[in-house]
Amino acid sequence: MTDYNNPKHILDSSSIKEGSVKWRSPSNIALIKYWGKHGNQLPNNASISFTLTNAYTETLISYKTRNTSTASGQINFFLDGKSREDFRDKIVKNFQKLDAIFPFLKQLDFTIHSHNSFPHSAGIASSASSMSALALCLCSMESYFFGTLQNIEDFRRKASYVARLMSGSASRSIFSKMALWGKTSADQDSSNEYAIPYEDKIHDVFKHFHDDILIVRKGEKSVSSRAGHQLMEDNIYAPVRYRDAEKKMVQLISALQKGDVTLVGKITESEALTLHALMMTSTPSYILMEPNTLILIQKVQNFRKETKTPLYFTLDAGPNLHLLYPDQYKESVKDFIKSELVQYCEDAFWIEDEVGDGPVQL
């Protein structure tokens, strides 16, 4: 077990600095999904994702010596310039979870400004990008205060570990192109505690993959991912699911290495439908797909059959369809989206995205 707790990371009160740190971190889209967890945010199966480019969060943390007249450190949080108490409360809880890892957090007051590149109401999960951005900022602060984490691999591993404690999928956003999180027999370096980089283990064709996101419905989903993970505890299909996920991971990793786009596409679509089948077989049962999600799935499958284009879909825990395909098909797929698919999107809204290089410090 990795132990990142460090009681020595306390600032000398005479030298506490005032300063700021800023990171941009992208969202990611899982091919094998993380659904169900145990212990302290540990996954019940391994997951693997593409790191995206255009869907990202920028987070600026400004810190200064804590105002000792207040009982605990103060945190102000602004999303796109607007104060948001709901997000602030989540950050307060997350900082409490990280108390033993970053004891210096208690010594500081914070003002945090965050901005998502996509509209907050677009129905795109922002936890992967926002929690990874936050984790990177905290690791940068530690590095600056104590001179630790100088090695980039150590830095990223810790950022992934810390991001995981706040949102499991966020652990994967730390790395360029692709990341794998969770112990699997398919990779001896894999871990339940942090994600590992996968860029060097995949065929070039996947490093330039596209992910266009068709927004079927904007707005908050009716059942949160947190509740969804919890419902897996009593899902009668859960044991079968975890075995199936492991089997698919072994096949997928081999297909990713070989550049077998067809097999990667097939496994990815099967995973998306399995995720939603697990929701439908939970107690209580729920459905996050919309009628237009199904229409779009059929259109994509027909287009693939008729044109022989390797265009595949996946879904997150919501109704929006992600379209995955190699770079060389970008013109024809975008024409297809504009002529046949946008009418099934809310307000004809869709987001063009692609596999990207991971977070940047700003």
Query: How far apart, in whole angstroms, are the C-alpha atoms of residue 305 and residue 309?
Result: 8
Q: Which stretch binds ligand PMV (CB under 6 A): 31-39, 237-245, 304-312, 344-352?
A: 31-39
β-bridge mates for residue 213, sequence order:
322, 351
Q: Are 164 and 180 in contact (CB under 8 A)?
A: no
User: Near ligand PMV by CB under 6 A, which window of 5-13, 30-38, 76-84, 133-141?
Assistant: 30-38
225 binds ligand PMV (CB under 6 A): yes
By CB under 6 A, is residue 168 in contact with ligand PMV?
A: yes
Question: Which ranges in 3-101 belong to alpha helices (H)?
Answer: 85-97
d(CA 337, CA 322): 12
Q: d(Cα 178, Cα 356) in Å, to the nearest integer?
A: 9
Between 36 and 265, whose beta carbon lies closer to ligand PMV?
A: 36
Q: CB under 6 A: which stretch of 29-37, 152-160, 244-252, 348-356 binds ligand PMV?
A: 29-37
Token pair of 222 as six digits = 């009716």
Give 44 or 292: the residue with its C-beta nearer to ligand PMV.
44
- Give first-to-last CA distance, the chain, whole Å: 32
Is the Cβ of residue 292 or residue 320 nearer to ligand PMV in the bound state? 320
Q: How far is the CB of 171 from ligand PMV (least distance, A)?
A: 8
Phi, then psi, of 124 in degrees rounded to 5: -100, 135
Look up residue 277 and give its amino acid: A
| Options 116-124, 161-169, 230-238, 284-292: segment touching ligand PMV (CB under 6 A) | 161-169
Least separation in angstroms between CB 2 and ligand PMV: 19
Here's the x/- map for ligand PMV, 114-143, by CB under 6 A: it reads as -----------x-x----------------
Contact between 213 and ligand PMV (CB under 6 A)? no
Query: Please, what is the minimum distance in Å from the beta carbon of residue 47 to ligand PMV?
Result: 4
18-21: list long-range contacts, CB under 8 Å, 24+ apart: 18/62, 18/63, 18/64, 18/65, 19/62, 19/63, 19/144, 20/60, 20/61, 20/62, 20/63, 21/60, 21/61, 21/137, 21/140, 21/141, 21/144, 21/361
Residue type, 338: K
- Among 24, 25, 27, 30, the residue binding ligand PMV under the rule CB under 6 A is 30
Nearer to ligand PMV, 21 or 359 (CB): 359
Please, where are the H alpha helices in 102-224? 127-146, 152-166, 204-207
Q: Which residue is nearest to ligand PMV (CB)?
A: 169
Closest contact distance (angstroms) between CB of 127 and ligand PMV is 5
By CB under 6 A, is residue 33 in contact with ligand PMV?
yes
Nearer to ligand PMV, 41 or 62 (CB): 41
Least separation, in Å, of the C-beta of 155 and ligand PMV? 21
> 168: Cβ–Cβ under 8 A, 6 or more apart, which residues?
34, 37, 41, 43, 47, 181
Nearer to ligand PMV, 141 or 249 (CB): 249
Tokens for 110, please give them.
């914070």
Query: In whole angstroms, how close is the CB of 352 to ligand PMV at the nearest point?
Result: 20
According to CB under 6 A, which one of 167, 192, 292, 314 is a site residue for ligand PMV? Answer: 167
Candidate list 47, 160, 184, 191; residue touching ligand PMV; CB under 6 A: 47
Handedness of CA 253, 160, 316, 276 (dihedral sign): positive
- Burial of residue 349 (CB within 10 Å: 0-12, 13-18, 19+) is middle
- Identify which range of 13-21, 96-104, 166-174, 191-199 contacts ligand PMV by CB under 6 A: 166-174
Cis before 284 (ω within 30): yes
Site for ligand PMV, residues 273 to 332, rule: CB under 6 A: 316-317
Binding residues for ligand PMV, rule: CB under 6 A, are 30, 33-35, 47, 125, 127, 167-169, 225, 316-317
